[in-house]
Each structure stands twice: as structure tokens, then as C-alpha cells.
Structure 1
């Protein structure tokens, strides 16, 4: 039977464990009484759940703490360092690999660049080698997360369109990774992964209903989280904002559409504009698109009017993307991330003005637009968040006791 909606006792137990783990992941130390209050479960139920989780090595006691009512209680802490994650970011001209734990702490990360024309098999081989090296060094890794560009066909395991990299269209990431490691591997679209990173590790103090992560880098896309769950669509390709047409008579995109947003505000689009209008800004003869973005932002800050024109035009198109996200998903926050967001101080006022002009006041006054404040590359962080999210959903499956077995 498929599509069952009932819950067995074991399912409910796991859901309650997950709720406890998520509270501790966000609050670091918490008493049993506070957990009971936040979950709505009885203290007797929480005591039983916590006892089983301590036996599995998921949580431990952290000494005496003071509750909000000034009562002394025994604090509980998530054993985050016993549940480490390897995050992997695959991008058009680089990949990154890092080790994190489920609290979001980063231990190490590396970046490897490669040219567009590089054989995908060589890139995958180098990526796998680095993951194996980190698995040997960090014995508490429980799962691996991989973030890839979109549109990513979740069930098929492949990317439908990788601009300028047609050789990657036939690579099946599920087949490449499922038997390679003795740890579960979870693969996610890069913008969705960034959204998870913001939701789990962004430190947002205000309650969030709907979060939109707007990735503007080598590609353009969005990840939407509503009440803690990703909005995916039937094939996992929802929210491909970069392939929404902003000019139906514009140039043809590799996806088959015309005038896609990605062709106007992505890092490769900025590189093209800089080569044509402000070539003196480029740091070298054959720069990568990320280098061009950083260079044109620096030139604009220094007062170069041609560079500022490129930045202003880019910001306007990012604003059009935000207008689409607001009208389609009505988020309470939009977070701009990836390399283009490094021009945030230049981009944000223009983006906000476009939104003010093009969205009805009842909507645009309720949404905050900000630049990602994550200290780590949001997509790499998102790869780790993808795997972390699975651990938080099924904590007993990834417990320290389970690993020892």
C-alpha cells in the first residue's frame, strides 16, 4: 500500500525523538521541563524519551541549569560531536568538501577548482578520494550530503540542465555515490540545500513561516521552506527561478526557454557584461565568473561608473526574481546567497526598491530581504544541512549506539 497516512507507535516515537533533537540542536542546553513545554508532551513522556536517547548516545546531561521560573534543573545537551556530517558542494568549476557536526560546527573544508572542459569522471574521482580521506580522519561521520546545481531530477539522480557543461547531463549521482561509501548519501538541489542551511543554522531569531533562499551564483535558483519542509514539486525541480523568462524575446537559454533570469544576473552573465563594458576590472586574462563578480563589486565601491552600471542592472534583475518569489510563495523572508550576494551593500537597496515598485504594499511590507550571514559557503553548508536534516528526522537510525553496532 502506498500513500499511507496512519502512524505506527514506532513512527510516533521517532517523531517525538526528532522533536527533542531539533530543540537541542537550536538551543544547545535545555531542561526536560522546557522540552515538555515546547513539544506539548507530558514530562513523563519526555523523561522516557530522553532516557532512551541517552542510552543511544544521542544526548547527555549537562549539569545544573536555571529554568525561566528560577528553578534548578538538570540540563540536556545534544552530543553533536558524535554525529558528524560530510558536506559536498558540486558547482560548475569547483567542488568543495567539508566536515561538520549536526549543530552546524565546521571542522575542515577544502575547495578544488577544475575547468569547464574537464572529464566528469576525473572530477568525480577526485571528489570521492577527498571524501574517503575525510571518512578515515573523522570516525564519527554518520552521513554525507551532496548539493548539486539544478534542475536536479531527484528520482533519476541527474541534472537536467548544467549551463555550459553538457557532459554532466548523463551523470547519475545516485549511482555514483550509493555504493561508494559505507555511509548514507543524501543529494539535494543547491538552492534547496542553501534554504535548509538557513533554516537550521541561520540563527533567525524571529519565528519563520516561509523562508525563501535565493541563490545567485553560477546559476540562479530558489529553495522554499514552509513550516520546516522543503517545497519540491513532483520531480524535485520546483522553484527553478533562474529559468523563469524575464524577456520572452530574449536570447535562447540552454533549457529551451528564452530570456531566462539566469542569463541576466548570474555570475557568468556578470562576467560577460564585465568583459564587454569594464574589461579593465578583470583580475586576469581568463578569470572565473566568481572572480569577475568580486572585481566588479570592488570597482563599483571605488567609484567606477561603468562597474556601478553593471551592478545596478544586475540588482534590478535580482529584484525581478524577488518579485516573482513574493507573488508565488508569499515568504516572510528572502535571503540572497552565493557569490553574487557578496555585493550585498551595493545590491540590496536597488533590489528593495524594485520590490517596492512592483509588489503591492500588503505583500512587500511583510517580507524581509537580506543577505545571507552564514560564515561558510551556504551551498556547502547546505549540503551538510541536507544530511543533518535526515539525522534530525530519524535520530535513532544515526545514533552513536547504532554506529557501534
Structure 2
């Protein structure tokens, strides 16, 4: 039997689960009293005192003086020693990769972006990524784990990307073999849309409580990540919710995935740029390829009143709306957050998206879902790469966060 299929827990498992729960509460609330933690977890204050004492001994938690508790009584505040535990997040996409350093509270310290050409050799790109990570490890000595976000479908057990549109040779790369043993740090992998979903769940400014969040990535590719009650929906191979490869036109052009009329062919960056090249080429220069600059040039022209550019934007928004319809009917989320490059069109996109949803989803469902553009100041996918590593670390604080004496 696979260990992941077992359901029993021994005492050490329960102890670590409780420590993890305390750490996660402090991560989200910054400063909290033992009494508040006990109330939130449903444990006695004596139990929480014992758990906190162990975490303090390991250097994971500190006391921060007196705070106001319930009934205006004063309590000793606790905080997570987040700055002592840093995470490196890495995002790999079709034209660039980025590397950032965060702490376990989500604070960003630095990040860099490196562009590359699709024609560039795989070994060259992978070597540049590894060099950048090694440089960050040299500068930041408190890194406890690394997370890497990859375009999908990412097959988590095999360590490779099943389909990378425009980059067919990259599906042969085993990212686990390339990275897991390169660094003397735990290394975790996540699909880029799932990374964005994690970032929005943990760090997005969304009304609580949240039951189900859908992150809709619309960039060089199209995908979605679904979180229900704090847990990612992954599927058996980690490739669940691949909305970019759902047909919106069964007789449409063939996609590199083998399907026809995939959503990705109609609202991704390449699709938007292709439409603009055909209908409003004057708003694109030779330097504008399939990039943020190209999309922003189209959005800029639309905002200045260029009717053809606005037509392109609205058609893209219509297809994003079809994607939202699918997400609502499939997952019934409280909120859909649209992120990545195409989301920079924000105000130009939302009215059309919302109108498509209003027309095509029954009111009982559509009235309960909020559709918004990501407001995270850091790229959600990069943020989420750090978040997946943070999540793994916080599940076993004794193993990853204890200060070695």
C-alpha cells in the first residue's frame, strides 16, 4: 500500500500536525495570543502552551510582549520568526524565468527576471536558472526550501511537462532530475496555475471565509488552479483543471495537445498578438513579440480609442468569459481571480467577461461568484512557487524550521 493511501496517525504525527497548525495561524495573523490559538484550534490552553514551548525552543516562534486579548485582558503575544526562514521561488515560462527570495510570511526580499529565446538550447537555459538560484543561495543564508512553478500540464510524478505549446522539445526534460539534487535544499515543484491559486489563497486580499477559489491564468498559456478549503485540486497526475485545453470550438484549429479549438488558441498572449497583427498591425512594432510589452501596446491603443484594437481586446475578453463559464459550472467557486499577462487589460476585459457569464450561467450560480483581476504586486506564479515550498515547510516545522544548535 502506498503511504499516501494510509489514514492512521501516530502520536508523533499528531504532534507535528498541531505544531504545523499553530505555525500556520501565526503566519496568517502575525501576532496572536496562546488563548486565541487555543480557541481557533479547539484545544486546551495547556496543550497550546506545551506546543508553543516546543516551537520557541526550536527558534520558530518568539514572544513579543503584551497584547490586548478577549475582554480587554492583556496576554503575551506570539509571532513567527519569519525572517529567519527564507524561501526561493522560481517561475519558468516560455520566454523568461524569474527567481525571487521570500520569507515564510510572504515578504519579498528580491527578485530578478531573465529573458531567453525559444531557439536557445535547453542546457543553456537550465544552466542559467541553476546559476541564478545558486547566486541567491550565496546571498541569502537562511533559505530553507525552493519552489519551482512550471507551465502545464505538469505531470508531478514523472517530473515533466506533458505539453508546452510553442516549445515541443521541452516535454522531454525531467525537471525533478535536473533540480532536486542540484541544491542542498528541499526542492518542490508545482504547475504554474496552481502556484497562482496558492498565492491568491494565502496572500490575495479576498473576503473571508473562502470555500473555493479558482485562479484563471491567462498568459503565454492558459490554465487554472482550484483550491477548495485550503487544498489544491490536483488529479491523479497533478494535471487537473487544465482549462486551456478544453474545446471552445470542436471544429477549430488543432492544438499542439492534440485537441481541437482549445481555449488557449483564442485568449493567450500568442492568440491576442496574432489577432492584433492581422487587424491592427500599426500598434505593434518589430520588438513586440509574444510578451507583456506586446499586450500592453494593444491595451494602450484600445484605451486611446483605436476601434480595431478594442475589438481585439473584447474578443479575447469574450473567450476569457467562456473560460469563466466553464470554471463556474465545473467547480462552483466563490471567486475567480484572473491573473498573468493578459490580465493587465483589467478594466477593458471585465465588463465583457461579466456579460458573457451573465448570459451563459444560471443566475443561482453566477450571482454567487465574484470575478476579479489579481491585485498582487508580485507575479502570482512566482509568489506561488514560493508558497508551495512554504506550504510544505509549514506542514513539518520541526524538520524544516528548527534552528540547528
Q: Normalised by the shorter chain, which TM-score bucket?
A: over 0.9
| From 3, 6, 9, the counterpart of 1:7 | 9
Does structure 2 retain, via aligned residues, the 8 Å contact 1:117–1:165?
no
Return the offset for 1:286. 5.0
Segments of structure 1 that go 5 or more residues without pairing to the other structure are none
| From 190, 196, 199, the counterpart of 2:198 | 196
Q: Which residue of 2 aligns with 1:128?
A: 130
Return the offset for 1:204. 2.2
Give me the whole-angstrom Cα distance separating, in 2, the residues matched to 1:360 and 1:98.
42
Give me the whole-angstrom Cα distance separating, in 2, the residues matched to 1:216 and 1:109.
22
| From 155, 166, 169, the counterpart of 2:168 | 166
> Secondary structure at 1:208's aligned position in 2?
coil
Does structure 2 retain, via aligned residues, the 8 Å contact 1:82–1:400?
no
Whether 2:62 is the aligned partner of 1:60: answer yes
> Secondary structure at 1:169's aligned position in 2?
helix
Does structure 1 retain, via aligned residues, the 8 Å contact 2:67–2:76?
yes
Give me the whole-angstrom Cα distance separating, in 2, the residues matched to 1:348 and 1:167.
36
Segments of structure 2 that go 5 or more residues without pairing to the other structure are none
Q: Which residue of 1 aligns with 2:159?
A: 157
> Secondary structure at 1:387's aligned position in 2?
helix
TM-score with structure 2 length normalisation?
0.98
Give me the whole-angstrom Cα distance separating, in 2, the residues matched to 1:120 and 1:181.
19
Query: C-alpha root-mean-square deviation of aligned residues, in Å?
Result: 1.0
Whether 2:344 is the aligned partner of 1:338: answer no
Q: Which residue of 2 aligns with 1:86?
A: 88
Q: Which residue of 2 aligns with 1:235?
A: 237
Give me the whole-angstrom Cα distance separating, in 2, the residues matched to 1:357 and 1:241.
20
Whether 2:197 is the aligned partner of 1:178: answer no
Give me the whole-angstrom Cα distance separating, in 2, the residues matched to 1:94 and 1:81.
28
Give me the whole-angstrom Cα distance separating, in 2, the residues matched to 1:170 and 1:374.
33
Give deviations 1:56-96, integer Å, cap 9, x for gaps: 11110111100132110000001101110000000000000
Return the offset for 1:285. 4.2
Give deviations 1:358-390, integer Å, cap 9, x for gaps: 000110000001111100011111101110111
Does structure 1 retain, via aligned residues, the 8 Å contact 2:288–2:294?
no
Q: Which moved more, 1:331-340 or 1:9-18?
A: 9-18
Give me the whole-angstrom Cα distance separating, in 1, the residues matched to 2:60 and 2:362.
47
Return the offset for 1:203. 3.0
| From 209, 226, 229, the counterpart of 2:228 | 226
Give deviations 1:281-307, integer Å, cap 9, x for gaps: 114345233222111111111111000
Q: Which residue of 1 aligns with 2:212?
A: 210
Return the offset for 1:156. 0.3
| From 353, 378, 383, the counterpart of 2:380 | 378
Give me the whole-angstrom Cα distance separating, in 1, the residues matched to 2:324 and 2:12.
42
Give me the whole-angstrom Cα distance separating, in 2, the residues matched to 1:361 and 1:148.
36
| From 99, 112, 115, the counterpart of 2:114 | 112
Does structure 1 retain, via aligned residues, the 8 Å contact 2:220–2:290?
no
Q: Which residue of 2 aligns with 1:72?
A: 74
Give me the whole-angstrom Cα distance separating, in 2, the residues matched to 1:200 and 1:128.
27
How many residues matched?
Answer: 403
Give deviations 1:196-216, integer Å, cap 9, x for gaps: 011111132321000100000
Q: Which moved more, 1:297-306 or 1:198-207?
A: 198-207
Does structure 2 retain, via aligned residues, the 8 Å contact 1:224–1:239?
yes
Give me the whole-angstrom Cα distance separating, in 2, the residues matched to 1:378 and 1:311.
22
* Pairing of 1:249-288 with structure 2 (within 5 A): 249-288=251-290
Q: Which residue of 2 aligns with 1:364?
A: 366
Does structure 2 retain, via aligned residues, the 8 Å contact 1:32–1:76?
yes
| Runs of at least 4 residues off by over 4 Å | none
Does structure 2 retain, via aligned residues, the 8 Å contact 1:83–1:400?
no
Does structure 2 retain, via aligned residues, the 8 Å contact 1:283–1:295?
no
Give me the whole-angstrom Cα distance separating, in 1, the residues matched to 2:402 and 2:364.
49
Give me the whole-angstrom Cα distance separating, in 1, the residues matched to 2:30 and 2:324.
34
TM-score with structure 1 length normalisation?
0.98
Return the offset for 1:400. 3.6
Q: Which residue of 2 aligns with 1:46?
A: 48
